[in-house]
Amino acid sequence: MIEFLNSIQNSLIYKNFFLVLSGLDNTILLLLISLPLGFVLALLFALGRVSKITLLSRTIASYIFVIRGTPLLVQIYLIYFGLGSVKFIRESFLWYALKEPFWCGVIALTINTVAYGAEIFRGGIQSIEKSQVESGLSLGFGKFLLLRKIILPIAIRKVLPSYGNELILMVKATSLVSLTTYMEMTGIARKIMAKTFAPVEAFIAAGILYLFLNFLMVQFVKYLEWKYNPHLRLNN
Amino acid sequence: MFKFDKLVFGDAGWGDEFLIATLMTLLVSILSMGLGLFLAIITVWAKIIQNRITRFIANFYTTVIRGVPELLVIYLIFFGGNAVVMSIAKVFGYNKYIELNALTIATIAIAVISATYSSEVLRASYLAISKGQIEAARALGMNKFSIFFKVISPQVIRHALPGIGNVWQITLKDTSLISVTGLVEIMRQSRISSNVEHSPLTFLITAAILYLCLTTISGRIFKTLEVNYSKGFST
Protein backbone atom coordinates (compact mmCIF):
# COMPACT_ATOMS: atom_id res chain seq x y z
CA MET A 1 0.00 0.00 0.00
CA ILE A 2 2.71 2.44 1.04
CA GLU A 3 4.73 1.47 -2.00
CA PHE A 4 1.72 2.16 -4.15
CA LEU A 5 1.25 5.61 -2.59
CA ASN A 6 4.94 6.34 -3.05
CA SER A 7 4.78 5.36 -6.68
CA ILE A 8 1.87 7.75 -7.16
CA GLN A 9 3.77 10.54 -5.43
CA ASN A 10 6.80 9.96 -7.60
CA SER A 11 4.80 9.77 -10.81
CA LEU A 12 5.18 12.61 -13.25
CA ILE A 13 1.48 13.35 -13.50
CA TYR A 14 1.25 13.83 -9.74
CA LYS A 15 4.20 16.22 -9.68
CA ASN A 16 3.02 18.09 -12.74
CA PHE A 17 -0.44 18.41 -11.32
CA PHE A 18 0.74 20.68 -8.52
CA LEU A 19 3.02 22.63 -10.83
CA VAL A 20 0.15 23.29 -13.21
CA LEU A 21 -2.11 24.02 -10.26
CA SER A 22 0.11 27.00 -9.45
CA GLY A 23 -1.08 28.53 -12.73
CA LEU A 24 -4.73 28.12 -11.82
CA ASP A 25 -4.88 31.48 -10.07
CA ASN A 26 -3.60 33.25 -13.18
CA THR A 27 -6.28 31.57 -15.30
CA ILE A 28 -8.98 32.48 -12.80
CA LEU A 29 -7.70 36.05 -12.57
CA LEU A 30 -8.18 36.43 -16.33
CA LEU A 31 -11.73 35.13 -16.06
CA LEU A 32 -12.63 37.16 -12.96
CA ILE A 33 -12.01 40.42 -14.79
CA SER A 34 -13.05 39.63 -18.36
CA LEU A 35 -16.28 37.72 -17.64
CA PRO A 36 -18.14 40.31 -15.51
CA LEU A 37 -16.87 43.14 -17.71
CA GLY A 38 -17.89 41.18 -20.80
CA PHE A 39 -21.34 40.51 -19.38
CA VAL A 40 -22.12 44.15 -18.67
CA LEU A 41 -20.70 45.39 -21.98
CA ALA A 42 -22.49 42.63 -23.91
CA LEU A 43 -25.81 43.74 -22.42
CA LEU A 44 -25.12 47.36 -23.37
CA PHE A 45 -24.02 46.36 -26.87
CA ALA A 46 -27.12 44.20 -27.32
CA LEU A 47 -29.32 47.13 -26.33
CA GLY A 48 -27.45 49.31 -28.79
CA ARG A 49 -27.83 46.65 -31.46
CA VAL A 50 -31.64 46.56 -31.13
CA SER A 51 -31.98 50.33 -30.68
CA LYS A 52 -33.64 52.41 -33.36
CA ILE A 53 -30.59 54.63 -33.81
CA THR A 54 -29.36 53.24 -37.14
CA LEU A 55 -25.80 54.48 -36.83
CA LEU A 56 -25.30 52.87 -33.42
CA SER A 57 -26.97 49.64 -34.47
CA ARG A 58 -24.94 49.40 -37.68
CA THR A 59 -21.66 50.13 -35.89
CA ILE A 60 -22.26 47.43 -33.32
CA ALA A 61 -23.38 45.01 -36.02
CA SER A 62 -20.14 45.47 -37.93
CA TYR A 63 -18.11 45.15 -34.72
CA ILE A 64 -19.83 41.83 -34.02
CA PHE A 65 -19.30 40.75 -37.62
CA VAL A 66 -15.57 41.42 -37.52
CA ILE A 67 -14.95 39.83 -34.12
CA ARG A 68 -17.00 36.73 -34.85
CA GLY A 69 -15.40 36.32 -38.26
CA THR A 70 -11.80 36.27 -37.02
CA PRO A 71 -10.06 33.80 -34.71
CA LEU A 72 -9.43 34.86 -31.12
CA LEU A 73 -5.72 34.18 -31.64
CA VAL A 74 -5.56 36.93 -34.28
CA GLN A 75 -7.24 39.31 -31.86
CA ILE A 76 -4.84 38.48 -29.05
CA TYR A 77 -1.81 38.84 -31.32
CA LEU A 78 -3.17 42.09 -32.78
CA ILE A 79 -3.46 43.60 -29.32
CA TYR A 80 -0.22 42.20 -27.91
CA PHE A 81 2.15 42.42 -30.89
CA GLY A 82 0.20 44.71 -33.22
CA LEU A 83 -0.69 47.61 -30.95
CA GLY A 84 2.67 47.43 -29.23
CA SER A 85 4.41 48.16 -32.52
CA VAL A 86 2.62 51.48 -33.02
CA LYS A 87 4.74 54.35 -31.80
CA PHE A 88 2.09 56.71 -30.48
CA ILE A 89 0.47 53.93 -28.48
CA ARG A 90 3.80 53.10 -26.91
CA GLU A 91 4.11 56.73 -25.87
CA SER A 92 0.57 57.10 -24.59
CA PHE A 93 -0.90 56.06 -21.24
CA LEU A 94 -2.33 52.93 -22.93
CA TRP A 95 1.14 51.44 -22.87
CA TYR A 96 0.90 50.89 -19.11
CA ALA A 97 -1.76 48.27 -19.79
CA LEU A 98 -0.63 47.03 -23.19
CA LYS A 99 2.92 46.17 -22.17
CA GLU A 100 1.59 43.55 -19.76
CA PRO A 101 0.54 40.26 -21.38
CA PHE A 102 -2.07 39.91 -18.65
CA TRP A 103 -3.93 43.09 -19.57
CA CYS A 104 -3.62 42.32 -23.27
CA GLY A 105 -5.26 38.99 -22.53
CA VAL A 106 -8.01 40.60 -20.51
CA ILE A 107 -8.70 43.17 -23.24
CA ALA A 108 -8.74 40.56 -26.02
CA LEU A 109 -10.95 38.15 -24.10
CA THR A 110 -13.37 40.94 -23.19
CA ILE A 111 -13.57 42.23 -26.76
CA ASN A 112 -14.23 38.69 -27.93
CA THR A 113 -16.85 37.72 -25.39
CA VAL A 114 -18.70 41.02 -25.79
CA ALA A 115 -19.31 40.28 -29.48
CA TYR A 116 -20.59 36.75 -28.87
CA GLY A 117 -22.53 37.78 -25.75
CA ALA A 118 -24.18 40.74 -27.46
CA GLU A 119 -25.44 38.46 -30.21
CA ILE A 120 -26.83 36.02 -27.62
CA PHE A 121 -28.56 38.79 -25.65
CA ARG A 122 -29.94 40.30 -28.86
CA GLY A 123 -31.63 36.97 -29.56
CA GLY A 124 -33.07 36.98 -26.05
CA ILE A 125 -34.33 40.55 -26.30
CA GLN A 126 -35.90 40.02 -29.70
CA SER A 127 -37.64 36.84 -28.60
CA ILE A 128 -39.65 38.65 -25.93
CA GLU A 129 -43.34 38.61 -26.78
CA LYS A 130 -44.73 41.96 -27.80
CA SER A 131 -47.61 41.61 -25.39
CA GLN A 132 -45.22 41.71 -22.43
CA VAL A 133 -43.78 45.03 -23.54
CA GLU A 134 -47.21 46.39 -24.41
CA SER A 135 -48.65 45.50 -21.03
CA GLY A 136 -45.70 47.24 -19.43
CA LEU A 137 -46.35 50.33 -21.53
CA SER A 138 -50.04 50.27 -20.68
CA LEU A 139 -49.11 50.28 -17.00
CA GLY A 140 -47.32 53.54 -17.67
CA PHE A 141 -43.75 52.18 -17.41
CA GLY A 142 -41.08 54.50 -18.69
CA LYS A 143 -38.34 53.27 -20.98
CA PHE A 144 -35.84 52.59 -18.24
CA LEU A 145 -38.36 50.88 -15.95
CA LEU A 146 -39.54 48.75 -18.86
CA LEU A 147 -35.95 47.68 -19.47
CA ARG A 148 -35.18 46.98 -15.85
CA LYS A 149 -38.39 45.24 -14.86
CA ILE A 150 -39.51 43.44 -18.02
CA ILE A 151 -37.09 43.24 -20.94
CA LEU A 152 -33.81 42.41 -19.22
CA PRO A 153 -35.11 39.88 -16.66
CA ILE A 154 -36.99 37.92 -19.32
CA ALA A 155 -34.18 38.12 -21.87
CA ILE A 156 -31.43 37.07 -19.46
CA ARG A 157 -33.45 34.13 -18.18
CA LYS A 158 -34.14 32.96 -21.71
CA VAL A 159 -30.52 33.03 -22.84
CA LEU A 160 -28.96 31.52 -19.70
CA PRO A 161 -28.18 28.15 -21.38
CA SER A 162 -26.53 29.69 -24.43
CA TYR A 163 -24.68 32.26 -22.33
CA GLY A 164 -23.48 29.36 -20.20
CA ASN A 165 -21.98 27.84 -23.35
CA GLU A 166 -20.20 31.10 -24.03
CA LEU A 167 -18.82 31.11 -20.48
CA ILE A 168 -17.34 27.64 -21.02
CA LEU A 169 -15.85 28.74 -24.33
CA MET A 170 -14.25 31.62 -22.43
CA VAL A 171 -12.69 29.29 -19.87
CA LYS A 172 -11.14 27.40 -22.77
CA ALA A 173 -10.14 30.62 -24.52
CA THR A 174 -7.94 31.69 -21.61
CA SER A 175 -5.45 29.04 -22.72
CA LEU A 176 -4.63 31.14 -25.78
CA VAL A 177 -3.30 33.94 -23.59
CA SER A 178 -0.39 31.61 -22.82
CA LEU A 179 0.91 32.36 -26.32
CA THR A 180 1.67 35.92 -25.21
CA THR A 181 4.12 34.59 -22.58
CA TYR A 182 1.52 34.90 -19.82
CA MET A 183 2.10 31.96 -17.47
CA GLU A 184 -1.27 30.40 -16.83
CA MET A 185 -2.03 26.69 -16.81
CA THR A 186 -1.34 25.98 -20.48
CA GLY A 187 1.82 28.07 -20.39
CA ILE A 188 3.13 26.17 -17.38
CA ALA A 189 2.21 22.84 -18.97
CA ARG A 190 4.19 23.79 -22.05
CA LYS A 191 7.15 24.80 -19.89
CA ILE A 192 7.06 21.45 -18.09
CA MET A 193 6.89 19.72 -21.45
CA ALA A 194 9.97 21.58 -22.66
CA LYS A 195 11.85 20.65 -19.49
CA THR A 196 10.90 17.00 -19.06
CA PHE A 197 10.09 15.92 -22.64
CA ALA A 198 7.02 14.22 -21.24
CA PRO A 199 4.23 15.96 -23.15
CA VAL A 200 1.40 13.59 -22.34
CA GLU A 201 1.81 13.80 -18.58
CA ALA A 202 2.08 17.59 -18.56
CA PHE A 203 -0.92 18.20 -20.77
CA ILE A 204 -3.10 15.60 -19.05
CA ALA A 205 -2.47 17.33 -15.74
CA ALA A 206 -3.56 20.63 -17.29
CA GLY A 207 -6.51 18.97 -19.02
CA ILE A 208 -7.83 17.59 -15.74
CA LEU A 209 -7.72 21.05 -14.20
CA TYR A 210 -9.51 22.64 -17.15
CA LEU A 211 -12.16 19.92 -17.02
CA PHE A 212 -12.63 20.63 -13.33
CA LEU A 213 -12.91 24.38 -13.97
CA ASN A 214 -15.48 23.79 -16.68
CA PHE A 215 -17.36 21.37 -14.46
CA LEU A 216 -17.65 24.11 -11.84
CA MET A 217 -18.81 26.54 -14.52
CA VAL A 218 -21.50 24.13 -15.71
CA GLN A 219 -22.73 23.65 -12.14
CA PHE A 220 -22.81 27.42 -11.64
CA VAL A 221 -24.87 27.95 -14.80
CA LYS A 222 -27.16 25.06 -13.83
CA TYR A 223 -27.70 26.65 -10.43
CA LEU A 224 -28.52 30.00 -12.05
CA GLU A 225 -30.99 28.31 -14.38
CA TRP A 226 -32.57 26.47 -11.47
CA LYS A 227 -32.81 29.64 -9.41
CA TYR A 228 -34.10 32.03 -12.05
CA ASN A 229 -36.33 29.68 -14.06
CA PRO A 230 -38.43 28.18 -11.26
CA HIS A 231 -41.27 27.45 -13.70
CA LEU A 232 -39.00 25.04 -15.59
CA ARG A 233 -37.99 22.97 -12.56
CA LEU A 234 -38.89 19.35 -13.02
CA ASN A 235 -39.94 18.52 -9.46
CA ASN A 236 -41.97 20.86 -7.30
CA MET B 1 2.01 52.08 -39.87
CA PHE B 2 0.22 49.88 -42.37
CA LYS B 3 2.69 49.03 -45.11
CA PHE B 4 0.71 48.26 -48.24
CA ASP B 5 3.88 47.89 -50.31
CA LYS B 6 4.86 44.82 -48.29
CA LEU B 7 1.81 42.94 -49.54
CA VAL B 8 2.59 42.92 -53.26
CA PHE B 9 3.16 39.65 -55.08
CA GLY B 10 6.65 38.55 -56.02
CA ASP B 11 9.95 38.96 -54.22
CA ALA B 12 9.30 42.45 -52.92
CA GLY B 13 6.25 41.56 -50.86
CA TRP B 14 4.45 38.78 -49.10
CA GLY B 15 1.36 38.56 -51.30
CA ASP B 16 2.09 35.18 -52.87
CA GLU B 17 3.18 33.70 -49.54
CA PHE B 18 -0.11 34.78 -48.04
CA LEU B 19 -2.02 33.29 -50.96
CA ILE B 20 -0.35 29.91 -50.39
CA ALA B 21 -0.95 30.22 -46.65
CA THR B 22 -4.64 30.92 -47.27
CA LEU B 23 -4.87 27.83 -49.46
CA MET B 24 -3.16 25.86 -46.68
CA THR B 25 -5.71 27.10 -44.14
CA LEU B 26 -8.51 26.09 -46.51
CA LEU B 27 -6.91 22.70 -47.12
CA VAL B 28 -6.52 21.96 -43.40
CA SER B 29 -10.08 23.14 -42.73
CA ILE B 30 -11.61 21.03 -45.48
CA LEU B 31 -9.58 17.91 -44.65
CA SER B 32 -10.25 18.13 -40.94
CA MET B 33 -13.92 18.98 -41.45
CA GLY B 34 -14.25 15.85 -43.63
CA LEU B 35 -12.37 13.64 -41.20
CA GLY B 36 -14.29 15.26 -38.36
CA LEU B 37 -17.64 14.47 -39.96
CA PHE B 38 -16.52 10.88 -40.42
CA LEU B 39 -15.50 10.64 -36.75
CA ALA B 40 -18.74 12.34 -35.79
CA ILE B 41 -20.82 9.75 -37.63
CA ILE B 42 -19.00 6.98 -35.73
CA THR B 43 -19.52 8.86 -32.45
CA VAL B 44 -23.24 9.32 -33.13
CA TRP B 45 -23.52 5.67 -34.08
CA ALA B 46 -21.80 4.71 -30.82
CA LYS B 47 -24.24 6.87 -28.91
CA ILE B 48 -27.48 5.70 -30.48
CA ILE B 49 -26.96 1.94 -30.61
CA GLN B 50 -28.12 0.40 -27.39
CA ASN B 51 -24.70 -0.50 -26.02
CA ARG B 52 -23.52 0.85 -22.70
CA ILE B 53 -19.81 0.54 -23.40
CA THR B 54 -19.75 2.32 -26.76
CA ARG B 55 -22.05 4.99 -25.41
CA PHE B 56 -19.76 5.55 -22.44
CA ILE B 57 -16.69 5.82 -24.66
CA ALA B 58 -18.41 8.26 -27.02
CA ASN B 59 -19.73 10.40 -24.18
CA PHE B 60 -16.32 10.40 -22.50
CA TYR B 61 -14.68 11.51 -25.74
CA THR B 62 -17.09 14.37 -26.44
CA THR B 63 -17.18 15.58 -22.83
CA VAL B 64 -13.42 15.58 -22.38
CA ILE B 65 -12.54 17.18 -25.69
CA ARG B 66 -15.19 19.85 -25.30
CA GLY B 67 -14.12 20.60 -21.75
CA VAL B 68 -10.44 21.02 -22.53
CA PRO B 69 -8.99 24.01 -24.43
CA GLU B 70 -8.37 23.39 -28.13
CA LEU B 71 -4.78 24.51 -27.73
CA LEU B 72 -4.16 21.75 -25.19
CA VAL B 73 -5.61 19.10 -27.51
CA ILE B 74 -3.37 20.34 -30.31
CA TYR B 75 -0.28 20.30 -28.07
CA LEU B 76 -1.14 16.82 -26.87
CA ILE B 77 -1.52 15.45 -30.38
CA PHE B 78 1.43 17.40 -31.74
CA PHE B 79 3.89 16.38 -29.02
CA GLY B 80 2.33 13.08 -28.02
CA GLY B 81 1.16 11.88 -31.43
CA ASN B 82 4.55 10.65 -32.60
CA ALA B 83 5.00 8.54 -29.47
CA VAL B 84 1.58 6.95 -29.93
CA VAL B 85 2.21 6.17 -33.60
CA MET B 86 5.63 4.72 -32.80
CA SER B 87 4.27 2.51 -30.05
CA ILE B 88 1.59 1.24 -32.43
CA ALA B 89 4.27 0.61 -35.06
CA LYS B 90 6.30 -1.30 -32.48
CA VAL B 91 3.44 -3.75 -32.07
CA PHE B 92 3.77 -4.49 -35.76
CA GLY B 93 7.51 -4.92 -35.42
CA TYR B 94 8.68 -1.56 -36.81
CA ASN B 95 11.26 -0.04 -34.49
CA LYS B 96 12.56 2.98 -36.38
CA TYR B 97 11.78 6.60 -35.62
CA ILE B 98 8.60 7.83 -37.25
CA GLU B 99 7.70 11.46 -37.60
CA LEU B 100 4.29 12.52 -38.80
CA ASN B 101 4.32 15.61 -40.96
CA ALA B 102 2.75 18.82 -39.73
CA LEU B 103 -0.22 18.67 -42.10
CA THR B 104 -1.24 15.20 -40.91
CA ILE B 105 -1.00 16.20 -37.27
CA ALA B 106 -2.86 19.44 -37.89
CA THR B 107 -5.65 17.64 -39.72
CA ILE B 108 -6.01 14.98 -37.03
CA ALA B 109 -5.94 17.50 -34.18
CA ILE B 110 -8.54 19.83 -35.68
CA ALA B 111 -10.67 16.87 -36.79
CA VAL B 112 -10.72 15.43 -33.27
CA ILE B 113 -11.95 18.79 -31.97
CA SER B 114 -14.42 19.50 -34.75
CA ALA B 115 -15.89 15.96 -34.56
CA THR B 116 -17.22 16.62 -31.05
CA TYR B 117 -19.17 19.63 -32.26
CA SER B 118 -20.35 17.88 -35.44
CA SER B 119 -21.50 14.84 -33.49
CA GLU B 120 -23.85 16.96 -31.36
CA VAL B 121 -25.32 18.54 -34.49
CA LEU B 122 -25.70 15.20 -36.27
CA ARG B 123 -27.20 13.53 -33.22
CA ALA B 124 -29.80 16.26 -32.81
CA SER B 125 -30.78 16.06 -36.46
CA TYR B 126 -30.92 12.27 -36.34
CA LEU B 127 -33.28 12.48 -33.39
CA ALA B 128 -35.39 14.97 -35.33
CA ILE B 129 -36.28 12.29 -37.89
CA SER B 130 -39.57 10.74 -36.90
CA LYS B 131 -39.42 7.06 -36.04
CA GLY B 132 -42.27 6.40 -38.46
CA GLN B 133 -39.93 7.07 -41.39
CA ILE B 134 -37.52 4.34 -40.38
CA GLU B 135 -40.34 1.95 -39.56
CA ALA B 136 -41.98 2.63 -42.93
CA ALA B 137 -38.68 1.93 -44.69
CA ARG B 138 -38.36 -1.30 -42.77
CA ALA B 139 -41.93 -2.26 -43.67
CA LEU B 140 -41.00 -1.76 -47.32
CA GLY B 141 -38.26 -4.34 -46.83
CA MET B 142 -35.29 -1.97 -47.21
CA ASN B 143 -32.07 -3.24 -45.68
CA LYS B 144 -29.94 -1.28 -43.22
CA PHE B 145 -27.73 0.29 -45.87
CA SER B 146 -30.51 1.61 -48.05
CA ILE B 147 -32.32 2.90 -44.97
CA PHE B 148 -29.17 4.78 -44.01
CA PHE B 149 -28.44 6.18 -47.45
CA LYS B 150 -31.93 6.76 -48.80
CA VAL B 151 -34.02 7.62 -45.77
CA ILE B 152 -31.83 8.80 -42.90
CA SER B 153 -28.96 10.62 -44.65
CA PRO B 154 -30.99 12.98 -46.87
CA GLN B 155 -33.08 14.12 -43.93
CA VAL B 156 -30.14 14.40 -41.54
CA ILE B 157 -28.30 16.55 -44.08
CA ARG B 158 -31.24 18.91 -44.38
CA HIS B 159 -31.70 19.25 -40.63
CA ALA B 160 -27.99 19.45 -39.90
CA LEU B 161 -26.85 21.96 -42.54
CA PRO B 162 -27.25 25.12 -40.44
CA GLY B 163 -25.45 23.49 -37.51
CA ILE B 164 -22.72 22.08 -39.74
CA GLY B 165 -22.27 25.58 -41.16
CA ASN B 166 -21.57 26.81 -37.63
CA VAL B 167 -19.13 23.96 -36.99
CA TRP B 168 -17.36 24.84 -40.23
CA GLN B 169 -16.88 28.42 -39.04
CA ILE B 170 -15.50 27.18 -35.71
CA THR B 171 -13.19 24.72 -37.49
CA LEU B 172 -11.94 27.40 -39.86
CA LYS B 173 -11.09 29.65 -36.93
CA ASP B 174 -9.55 26.79 -34.95
CA THR B 175 -7.02 26.20 -37.72
CA SER B 176 -5.31 29.40 -36.56
CA LEU B 177 -4.16 27.47 -33.47
CA ILE B 178 -2.31 25.05 -35.72
CA SER B 179 0.29 27.79 -36.18
CA VAL B 180 1.90 26.62 -32.92
CA THR B 181 2.92 23.39 -34.65
CA GLY B 182 4.85 25.25 -37.33
CA LEU B 183 2.53 24.51 -40.24
CA VAL B 184 2.60 27.60 -42.43
CA GLU B 185 -1.00 28.72 -42.63
CA ILE B 186 -2.32 32.29 -42.42
CA MET B 187 -1.48 32.82 -38.76
CA ARG B 188 2.02 31.36 -38.97
CA GLN B 189 2.71 33.27 -42.18
CA SER B 190 1.73 36.54 -40.56
CA ARG B 191 4.07 35.84 -37.62
CA ILE B 192 6.94 34.97 -39.97
CA SER B 193 6.38 38.04 -42.13
CA SER B 194 6.07 40.39 -39.18
CA ASN B 195 9.27 39.03 -37.67
CA VAL B 196 11.11 39.69 -40.91
CA GLU B 197 9.61 43.10 -41.64
CA HIS B 198 9.24 44.30 -38.02
CA SER B 199 5.69 45.34 -38.76
CA PRO B 200 3.28 43.06 -36.91
CA LEU B 201 0.29 45.34 -37.38
CA THR B 202 0.37 45.10 -41.17
CA PHE B 203 0.49 41.34 -41.34
CA LEU B 204 -1.85 40.66 -38.45
CA ILE B 205 -4.49 42.91 -40.00
CA THR B 206 -3.92 41.09 -43.29
CA ALA B 207 -4.49 37.80 -41.48
CA ALA B 208 -7.67 39.13 -39.87
CA ILE B 209 -8.99 40.31 -43.23
CA LEU B 210 -8.19 36.97 -44.87
CA TYR B 211 -10.02 35.08 -42.11
CA LEU B 212 -12.94 37.47 -42.40
CA CYS B 213 -13.14 36.86 -46.15
CA LEU B 214 -12.98 33.09 -45.68
CA THR B 215 -15.72 33.02 -43.04
CA THR B 216 -17.95 35.41 -44.96
CA ILE B 217 -17.65 33.60 -48.28
CA SER B 218 -18.14 30.17 -46.77
CA GLY B 219 -21.10 31.51 -44.79
CA ARG B 220 -22.69 32.58 -48.08
CA ILE B 221 -22.03 29.16 -49.61
CA PHE B 222 -23.70 27.42 -46.67
CA LYS B 223 -26.72 29.75 -46.95
CA THR B 224 -27.10 28.77 -50.61
CA LEU B 225 -26.79 25.08 -49.74
CA GLU B 226 -29.41 25.45 -47.02
CA VAL B 227 -31.85 27.02 -49.45
CA ASN B 228 -31.08 24.28 -51.95
CA TYR B 229 -31.59 21.43 -49.49
CA SER B 230 -34.78 22.78 -47.97
CA LYS B 231 -36.58 22.98 -51.31
CA GLY B 232 -40.18 21.91 -50.86
CA PHE B 233 -40.11 22.62 -47.13
CA SER B 234 -41.46 25.84 -45.78
CA THR B 235 -38.73 27.16 -43.55
CB contacts, 8 Å: A186 with chain B? 69, 71-72, 75
Query: Which of A69, A82, A210 is facing B69, going by the closest CB pair?
Result: A210
Which residues fall within 8 angstroms of residue A177, CB to CB, at 6 or more apart? A30, A76, A101, A102, A104, A105, A108, A109, A184
Contact across the interface for A210 and B83, Cβ inside 8 Å: no
pLDDT tens-digit readout, A59-88:
999 999 999 999 999 999 999 988 888 888
For residue B171, what pLDDT is reported?
A: 94
Q: Would you state the pLDDT for residue A236?
A: 53
**DSSP secondary structure code for residue A140 in this structure:** T
Given this model, what pLDDT does residue B1 score? 66
Q: What is the pLDDT of residue A5?
A: 75
Question: What mean pLDDT do residues A93-109 have?
Answer: 88
Interface probe, candidates A62, A165, A175, A181, chain B, greatest B C-beta count within 10 A: A175
pLDDT digits (tens, 9 = 90+) for B189-203: 999 988 888 888 889
Question: How many angstroms separate the Cα of A67 from the Cα of each of A43, A46, A201?
Answer: 16, 15, 35
* pLDDT at position A10 over 80: no
Chain A residue numbers with beta carbons less than 8 Å from the beta carbon of B207 are 74
Closest CB to A77 among B174, B204, B212: B204
b/e string for B182-202 if b means 16 or more Cβ within 10 A?
ebbbbbbbbbbbbeeeebbbb
CA distance readout (Å), B78 to B113, B120, B139: 13, 25, 49
Nearest CA in chain A to B78: A199
Report the length, in residues, of chain A: 236
How far is A204 from chain B, CA to nearest CA, in Å?
Answer: 8
Architecture of domain B4-229: Orthogonal Bundle (1.10)
- Tell me which chain A residues have a C-beta less than 8 angstroms from the C-beta of B205: 78, 82
Residues of A in contact with B25 (CB under 8 A): none
Q: Do the Cβ atoms of A211 and B67 come within 8 Å?
A: yes
Q: Which residue of B has its CA nearest to A186?
A: B72
Q: With H, G, I as helix, E, B as strand and everything else as coil, classify residue A23.
A: coil
Whether the per-residue pLDDT at B235 is higher than 60: the answer is no
Give the CA angle between residues A53, A55, A57 to the nearest 5°. Answer: 65
Q: What is the pLDDT of residues B138-168, one digit of tens each?
A: 999 999 889 988 888 888 888 899 999 999 9
What sections of chain A are H helices per DSSP? 2-10, 12-21, 24-50, 54-69, 72-77, 87-91, 95-98, 101-126, 130-138, 143-146, 152-173, 185-196, 199-228
CA distance B178 to chain A (A): 11
Q: Are B72 and A210 within 8 A, CB to CB?
A: yes
pLDDT class for B98, splitting at 50, 70, 90? confident
pLDDT band at B37 (very low <50, low <70, confident <90, very high): very high
In this predicted structure, what is the pLDDT of residue A235? 65
Q: What confidence score (pLDDT) does residue B90 get?
A: 82
Mean pLDDT for chain B? 89
* pTM (two decimals): 0.89
For residue range B16-30, list pLDDT tens digits in order: 889 999 999 999 999
Name the closest residue on chain A to residue B211, using Cα atoms.
A70
Domain boundaries, chain B: 4-229
Residue A186 to residue B191, Cβ atoms within 8 A: no
| Contact residues, chain B to chain A, C-beta under 8 Å | 1, 64, 66-72, 75-76, 79-80, 83, 173-174, 176-177, 179-180, 187, 190-191, 194, 198-201, 204-205, 207-208, 211-212, 215-216
C-alpha to C-alpha distance for B15 and B34, rounded to whole angstroms: 29
- Candidates A85, A119, A213: best to mutate against B (most CBs of B within 10 A) is A85
Contacting residues for B119 by C-beta, under 8 A, at least 6 apart: B39, B40, B43, B44, B47, B58, B62
Q: How far is A66 from chain B (nearest CA, A)?
A: 7
Q: What local confidence, expressed as pLDDT, does residue B114 receive?
A: 95
Cα separation, A214 vs A204, in Å, equals 15
Average pLDDT over residues A156-173: 92
Q: What pLDDT score was predicted for residue B186? A: 92
Considering only residues A229 and A166, tell me which one the structure prediction assigns the higher pLDDT.
Answer: A166
Cβ–Cβ under 8 Å, residues A18 and A189: no
Q: Do B72 and A175 touch (CB under 8 A)?
A: yes
Could you please state the CATH topology (level 3) that the domain comprising A2-232 is classified under. MetI-like fold (1.10.3720)
Q: What is the pLDDT of residue A44?
A: 94
Asked if the Cβ–Cβ distance from B180 to A173 is below 8 Å, we say no
Q: For the complex shown, is ipTM > 0.90?
A: no
User: Are the beta carbons of A73 and B204 separated by less than 8 Å?
Assistant: no
